[in-house]
Amino acid sequence: MQNKKRVTRLLTVGPLPPPPSGANISFQVFCSEAVGANRLSHLEIIDSSPKRIKQNTSILTLRNLGQAWRVIRQFATQIKRMDAALIFGSNQFLASLTPILVLIAKLSGKPCYIRSFGGSVDQFSQQTNGLLRWLLLTGFRLSNGLIVETQLLYNYFKEMPGVTAHYVPAYRTMPKTGSSAPALPTRDETQTPKPLRLVFISWVREEKGVTVLLEALRQLTPKEQAEIHCDIYGPLLEQYR
């Protein structure tokens, strides 16, 4: 993502909490890190989160169209004052709205990058047909780069003609590891194990892995002879209550 001109004014588009889903928290972490690192003189955020749980996941709804118009209008107004833009989005967001935003950035002469959430955008592009797939891949090709968070996604998209792929696995600066890194403490078997507390942040539904996590913790508890607590935060649809 290097450019001849140093980016100090960045326009970002992405979902902020609420609701506290994995994508929303990840985007919030990135924004906090970008501001705290003092690498930018200005970070402008366009919040794309719907704020209310959608029972209807269809793209073409009146609420979605109204939200899309709000994001497009704010983006077109603010991109002219920025050095670059970075768009975060789910698979459907990347296919439906991102191509328009990237085109606006191009017409304004500003570099624009895309950051996909999760590790399934390759499967989404393969399973989606027609206009939606064309829009998704056109947005990727028009952008200055597609940033993905898994090695498999990077390997897939780097071979796709016209797509410039970047592999960035985290949303904040990771500490460097090496020979000088301190060794992890070992547990004294004579000591009573301390309770382990975990936090799961995501949509609370089976395909997100919450049931697999809970079953793994049940098996781990007697083995470690310690209390394990897992707090679950995220939107809960009616059919999963």
Query: Rounded to whole angstroms, how far apart are CA atoms 146 and 51?
Result: 26
Residue 80 near residue 63 (C-beta atoms within 8 A): no
Q: Give domain status of residue 191, yes or no.
A: no
Tell me how many domains the chain contains.
Answer: 2
Q: Give domain status of residue 55, yes or no.
A: yes
Domain boundary among 149, 167, 185: 167
pLDDT in tens, 142-198: 999 999 999 999 999 999 999 999 999 888 766 665 545 555 555 555 566 678 888
Predicted local distance difference test score (pLDDT) of residue 98? 94
Predicted local distance difference test score (pLDDT) of residue 179? 47
Query: Is 139 found in the same domain as 39?
Result: yes
Predicted local distance difference test score (pLDDT) of residue 180? 52
Predicted local distance difference test score (pLDDT) of residue 183? 54
Helices 62-78 and 98-107 pack at an angle, to 10 degrees, of 20
Query: Is 125 found in the same domain as 205?
Result: no
Which residues contact residue 220 at a Cβ distance below 8 angstroms, ignoring those fewer than 6 apart?
Answer: 228
Predicted local distance difference test score (pLDDT) of residue 53? 55
Query: Is 163 found in the same domain as 47?
Result: yes
Of the candidates 109, 47, 97, 92, which has an alpha carbon nearest to the alpha carbon of residue 69? Answer: 97
Low-confidence residues of the chain, pLDDT below 70? Answer: 1-5, 51-60, 173-193, 223-225, 237-241
pTM: 0.75
Query: Is 208 found in the same domain as 128?
Result: no
Give residue 219's domain range.
196-240
Query: Is 33 found in the same domain as 131?
Result: yes
Query: Is 209 found in the same domain as 161?
Result: no
Residue 101 near residue 87 (C-beta atoms within 8 A): yes
